[in-house]
Structure 1
Amino acid sequence: MSDKKNVLLIGAGGVGTIVAYGIDYVGKSNLSIVVRRDYVKVKDAGYDISSVDYGNIKGWKPANIYPNVDAAAASGEVYDFIVIATKNLPDIVKMEELVKPVVVPGKTTLVLMQNGFDLGRPFFVHYPKNVILSGVSHIGSHNSGGVICQTQKDKAVVSYFENPNLSKEQQETKAHEFISLYSNDKNDCVYFDDAKWYRYRKLVYNASLNTVCALTGVDTGRLAFSGGLDTVSIPAMREVVKIAEADGVKLPSDVINSVVHSDDGDWFEPSMRVDVKKGNPVELEVILGNLLKVAGELGVETPILTVVYNLLKVVQFRLKEEQGLITLPKERPITDRVFK
């Protein structure tokens, strides 16, 4: 009987495919993947991968490839780990509901290899006895029709979203077990013992620079030269730090300076800016929406972040309408609401 773990990865895009290949490279898992957009091509010919970590690979595919979660469930396989590497858009798809057919309560460990903050909360509601791991990926990789181009090394930080129903030891054990399935001599996958701290640290950038660049249509360099860095983004960073402090998280005293200088020398377009430029919905709710919910619960005022969020909701509305996710009536309805 094989002692390999059954792993299902959902979301084999640019990042997800490199994660999947890394897991397959280690060889300690029976790997299955869910591929939606490029299913027919990948099922027939596999992925062509150009990777700074692994070199050039022609026609790679794992043992099992499914077009959707229901098909993965219908296979009868019981999964030890489910890695979710999709874009995180809960205002369009609620992943905690989508994965239900393949989750065994109390057994399956879910790995959220996604952007965002406070991601564990909806999963704990649905799966109160399951370990939910946090995977923060630092990687440059994109997918174009089943051709993967990885330009920056795969660096991943794994921890766990604290589940009060489970022991710390149980959750730590699962985190290290997943790392053993994924970490290899080509990538850099490490354990970090505080998911909340790490994701707050990442939010100092994402909630202030990623969002404002998406809203204004400029890169981080032009945001600085225009004055928007000083008038909008840095005040937004201060609000993130205040929320973190109220939530019991002490970020480094130089965190704002470090974040501002992280793109030095580069006219860098953050991911949300790129999404808007491509006409794709942005990860608004998990980056700003969840943060503002926590701020409200803690009584922290967030005037800058709130305005940025509400303006981006309008942008998100437009993006979803353009993709046919929202349908409006031909004639605009008339309201009797009185505005003051």
Structure 2
Amino acid sequence: MNDALTLGRRFSVAPMMDWSDRYCRFLHRQLSRHALLFTEMVTSAAIMHGDTERLLGFDPVEQPVAVQLGGSDPAELAKATSIASAFGYAEINLNVGCPSDRVQSGRFGACLMAEPELVAECVRAMRGATDRPVTVKCRIGIDDQDTEESLDRFADAMVAAGADALYVHARKAWLKGLSPKENRTIPPLDYDRVHRLHARLPIPTMINGGIETLDQAETELTHMDGVMLGRAPYQNPMLLAEVDSRIFGDTSAPVTLDAIMHIMADYAAREMARGTRINQITRHMLGLANGLPGARQFRQILSVEACRPGAGPEVIECALDAVQRQSVSSSELLVTA
């Protein structure tokens, strides 16, 4: 197995619909050299019938990066896996955790936790279509399932089918009565249940759900093979700048906001030459200056100015300048005081 992938699973950034696109992943890779990054979920049907370059293309600098597939048809998933593998992804992951109505109507996501035999069949088909690791992301259960018996049965079926690793969101998904947003916060977290599962499984097991700080991540790593965070690093991307030293023991100097903004401005110029709109990139950068003087103006420039006709990479430099001016002003006030 790829050493970078094995290492990267210690800290991964979760697949997030409408968020973890190629522009987001490029940004996150500049902040952490080692974290495993995930695509947003791509359905097997979309890969069969859509623009595969748009759906699956990525910059090699993003590696290690895993693609997450959604679907429940073993033959279709096998074909999608083969296509995704040809793009060079380090890992192919199957979504068995998303609780949205749209996902349920397509018979994939968390509702498949009620059908472990079908999921196992999907995993076997995917394993037969690639030499890359095939993994599964799931919940601890759905609706009225007994999370002791049903989760063990599901996980054992995944192991028997040849899954290489399991990512477990430590909440149930309530498919009836809760919205996808509510499913991210209302069902109680049960880390102990995931710890018990990890203790009995022979494959790497990572934990996801409600982990918001690196202190929490480090605590979970005393129980698990890895941690997966989603909204915390997305909303506060500079958290990722500490991951390499704290989680991976990398002694390299962490990247600074100044360096990140210049890298992203250069990246934006290259991408815009290919037809990308600047706001497709800057929308992922809004939280970079959180907690700094000028952060509000920073966000406003990246969100509002980037949408104006003719906006270009100078918007990124302008946002950085706003923070730097505020920092200088704050320093001058302290000196005066």
Fold shared, TM-score > 0.5 on shorter chain:
no
Tell me which protein shows more strand as a share of its residues: 1
With normalisation by structure 2, the TM-score equals 0.29
Q: TM-score, normalised by structure 1?
A: 0.29
